[in-house]
Amino acid sequence: MRAAFRTLIAKTWRQLNHEMPIPLYRPLPDFSKTDAWRAWLADPDVPDELRARLGLYVHVPYCLQECSFCYLERRLVDGTVGVWLQSLIDEADALAPILEGTPFRTVYLGGGTPGALTPAQLETLLGTLADRFDLGDVAEWSLESDLPSLTAPKLEAMKRHGVTRLSVGLQNLDEDALAANKRLVGFDVNAKLALLESHRFDRLNLDVIVGIPGSNLANVEHTVRTAIQLRPTRISLYTFNPYEGYAFDFTDEAATDRFVRERAEQIELARRLVGEAGLPDHDNLQLHETMTAHAPLVGLGPSANNRLPLHCYFKNPTTQQYLRDPNAVIGRRIASIDEELECFLFNCLVRNRPADLRLARRLFGWKPSAVYAFCAERLGDAITLGDGVIGRTPGDDVAFGELLLERFDLGREQQATVTFPPELEGVPEDRLAEVMIGY
Ligand SMILES: C[S@@+](CC[C@H](N)C(=O)[O-])C[C@H]1O[C@@H](n2cnc3c(N)ncnc32)[C@H](O)[C@@H]1O
Ligand code: SF4
């Protein structure tokens, strides 16, 4: 099997496909988060353009349900919530004096399910952030929830504290499909949907997932049509990707073929319905800003990423470890502008988002022609140039992913560090690509 393909599959299986440097992260034993941010803020070589886009991400790893399809860093609400909240407040306290006077542009509370916190916990969390950080000029403040967690007092607390964009996971509204994925059933769905009507936020995003056990064309259509009736500003469509830890049987060829075919049919239908309703099918400002505008990110809570472009990237430990030692981060220092430019280009192009050459000039001081040459030298005719942006020549996602890993220096480094999952050895290459990446 091709080396870059193996790396691509291994990254996807371990859910490391979003951020290029993650597989290159290593423990940083003498690392201080506060020193890192202090140095970044004081560095005259960090352009104002970057500083003006600072984002805050807060990871709430708790949920009221443990969905079997979910690959995120999450656990059921338990007796550790208080310890987690205190650690997060401690993190915020340590960073607050350093970030004083630096306004944030975006805030994103993700998880897990931030909406699963009690009203009192939400009050404390949202109040802590507002007290410690400069959030007076935030362009968008997002918070994720599932349906069962939503209550009027929580929605009121969110509004009071400035949340402007609510993102709610409908996933699939069919009871059998929910139960097949260990999601909660038996609650009054219509009452929860009515809450979304009575407590409207500036923006409402609804998540729908296709391809999970029990989903079919009929219940996907019902879910998307119900979502559209709620007049959201966006609907985010997810295609279920089996991941490490999910017992997907790659040896059952017929079942695998069926999975790939049905998921493709469901996503096609869902995209068509969303398109006909005039809604975009993708929305995640935190990710959007972070990836396309290369925004720096302060990340609090378990597994939260911190991005300090031109300096370093680091990630908080998983929940279990975070509760013991929130400072046990892993990460990578950025040694050169070339490395940072690769991160920028990778993160845009891997999502098929244009890489803006004018932005690159402002961030890296490179002429557009030099950035284009830098990228063309690596990716040849797999990229296009037009209207001040680099895009992708239409083609196969898998082939393009492989190219990024083969031709970028950081990509080649990843090939040397990412081990192929033993449980996937022997599965035909085409099947791996179809199940895990293509749809
Ligand atoms: C952090 S969750 C937030 C949603 C919220 N906790 C809920 O359950 O409604 C973000 C999204 O990731 C998606 N997701 C989770 N596991 C996935 C998987 N294995 N493959 C593809 N998407 C997945 C889900 O659709 C979910 O809405
Ligand atoms: S899908 Fe949402 S509620 Fe379900 S486990 Fe994942 S984060 Fe929690």
Read off the pLDDT of residues 317-336 as tens digits, 9 standing for 90 and up.
Answer: 999 999 999 999 999 999 99
Distance 170 CA to ligand 1 centre (A): 10
Tell which of 256, 271, 286 closes a domain. 286
Report the range of poorest mean pLDDT among 30-34, 277-281, 423-427. 277-281
225 alpha-carbon distance from chain centroid: 25
Who contacts 93 (Cβ-Cβ below 8 Å, separation ≥6)? Answer: 132
DSSP SS3 for 106? strand
**Does residue 207's CB lie within 6 angstroms of at least one atom of ligand 1?**
yes
State whether the beta carbon of 209 lies less than 6 angstroms from ligand 1: yes
Q: Residue 84: CB within 6 Å of ligand 1?
A: no
Categorize the per-residue pLDDT at 281 as very low, low, confident or very high, splitting at 50, 70 and 90.
low
> What is the C-alpha separation between 104 and 307, in angstroms, rounded?
14
pLDDT band at 351 (very low <50, low <70, confident <90, very high): confident
- Say if residue 262's pLDDT is above 70: yes
Residue pLDDT, tens place only, 366-404: 999 999 999 999 999 999 999 999 999 999 889 999 999
Q: Which of 263, 286, 309 is the last residue of a domain?
A: 286
Q: Is 347 in the pocket of ligand 1 (CB under 6 A)?
A: no
Average pLDDT, the chain: 94
Q: Which atom of ligand 1 is closest in space to residue 145's alpha carbon?
A: 5
Do 157 and 99 lie in a common domain?
yes
Is 301 contained in some domain?
Answer: no
Tell me, yes or no, whether 321 lies in a domain.
no
- Supply 377's token pair: 């030298």
Q: Residue 154's pLDDT is what? A: 98
Evaluate: CB of 71 within 6 angstroms of ligand 1. yes
Identify the weakest region by mean pLDDT among 109-113, 277-281, 398-402. Answer: 277-281
| Eight-state DSSP code of residue 316 | P
Assess whether 96 and 203 both reside in one domain.
yes
Tell the burial category of 2 from Cβ atoms under 10 Å away from its Cβ (0-12, 13-18, 19+). exposed
Q: 63 and 10 in one domain?
A: no
In-domain check, residue 316: no
For ligand 2, whether the C-beta of 146 sits within 6 Å is yes
Residue from 64, 66, 67, 144 to probe ligand 1 pocket by mutation (most atoms less than 8 Å from CB):
144
Structure tokens at 358: 């004018």
- Residue 169, beta-bridge partner list: 146, 207
CATH number of the domain at 205, please: 3.20.20.70
The residue assigned the tokens 């037009």 is 386
Q: What is the spatial distance between Cα 183 and Cα 176, in angstroms, rounded to a whole number?
A: 10
Confidence category of residue 29, pLDDT binned at 50, 70, 90:
confident
Tokens of 181: 């994925």
What integer pLDDT is reported at residue 280 of this predicted model? 79
The percent of residues above 70 in pLDDT, for the chain, comes to 97
Task: Compute the distance from residue 70 Cα to the ligand 1 centre, in Å.
Answer: 6
Contact 267, 284 (CB under 8 A): no
What is the pLDDT at residue 282?
65
Please check the confidence at residue 439 and state whether its pLDDT lies above 80.
no
| DSSP H or E run through 108 | strand 106-111
Q: Are residues 258 and 133 in the same domain?
A: yes
C-alpha to C-alpha distance for 314 and 27, rounded to whole angstroms = 9
Does residue 76 share a domain with residue 212? yes
Please work out whether the CB of residue 73 comes within 6 Å of at least one atom of ligand 1.
Answer: no
Q: Are residues 17 and 62 in the same domain?
A: no
Give the residue, by CA position, lying nearest to ligand 2 atom 1: 70
One domain, residues 5 and 55: no
C-alpha to C-alpha distance for 439 and 429, rounded to whole angstroms: 15
Range of the domain at 384: 1-31+332-439
Query: Is the CB of 72 within 6 Å of ligand 2?
Result: yes
Q: Indicate if ligand 1 lies below 6 Å from the C-beta of 144.
A: yes
- Which atom from ligand 1 is nearest to the alpha carbon of 207? 27
Model confidence band, residue 10 (pLDDT cutoffs 50, 70, 90): very high
User: Does residue 87 lie in a domain region?
Assistant: yes
- How far is the C-alpha of 335 from the C-alpha of 294, rounded, in Å? 17
Q: Which of 286, 317, 343 is the last residue of a domain?
A: 286
In this structure, are 194 and 93 located in the same domain? yes
Q: Given CA atoms 185, 188, 190, 195 in this order, what sign does their dihedral have?
A: negative
Q: Which residues pair with 134 in a beta bridge?
A: 103
pLDDT band at 283 (very low <50, low <70, confident <90, very high): low
Same domain, 172 and 225: yes
Mean pLDDT of 22-31: 90
Q: Name the domain count of the chain.
A: 2
* Cβ within 8 Å of residue 46, ≥6 positions away: 40, 309, 310, 311
**Tell me, what's the pLDDT at 438?**
67
Nearest atom (ligand 2) to Cα of 112? 7
The answer to whether residue 323 sits within a structural domain is no
The pLDDT assigned to 307 comes to: 95
Instruction: Give pLDDT tens digits for 118-174.
Output: 999 999 999 999 999 999 999 999 999 999 999 999 999 999 999 999 999 999 999
Q: Which residues contact 423 (CB under 8 A, 6 or more apart)?
A: none
Do 187 and 56 fall within a single domain?
yes
Q: Are residues 279 and 418 in the same domain?
A: no
The b-or-e profile of 258-295 (16+ CB within 10 A means b, else e) is ebbebbbbbbebbeebbeebebebebbbbbbbbbbbbb
Question: Residue 18: is its pLDDT beyond 90?
Answer: no
Q: Whose CA is closest to atom 13 on ligand 1?
A: 238
**Is 298 inside any structural domain?**
no
> pLDDT tens digits, residue range 49-90?
999 999 999 999 999 999 999 999 999 999 999 999 999 999
Whether residue 134 sits in one domain with residue 86: yes
Please report, in angstroms and rounded to a whole number, the separation of the first and last CA atoms in the chain: 21
Question: In degrees, to the nearest 5, what angle opens at C-alpha 144 toward C-alphas 140 and 150?
Answer: 120
- pLDDT at position 113 is 98
Q: State the Cα–Cα distance between residues 259 and 265, nearest whole angstrom.
A: 10
* Cis amide bond preceding 112, omega within 30: yes
Is 36 among the domain residues?
no
CA–centroid distance, 235 to ligand 1, in Å, is: 13
pLDDT in tens, 204-241: 999 999 999 999 999 999 999 999 999 999 999 999 99
Distance between CA atoms of residues 198 and 190, nearest Å: 12
Looking at all shown ligands, the one closest to residue 150's CA atom is: 1
Domain presence at residue 39: no
Amino acid 383 reads I
How far is residue 140's CA from residue 202's CA, in Å, rounded to a whole number?
A: 9
- Position 39 pLDDT exceeds 90: yes
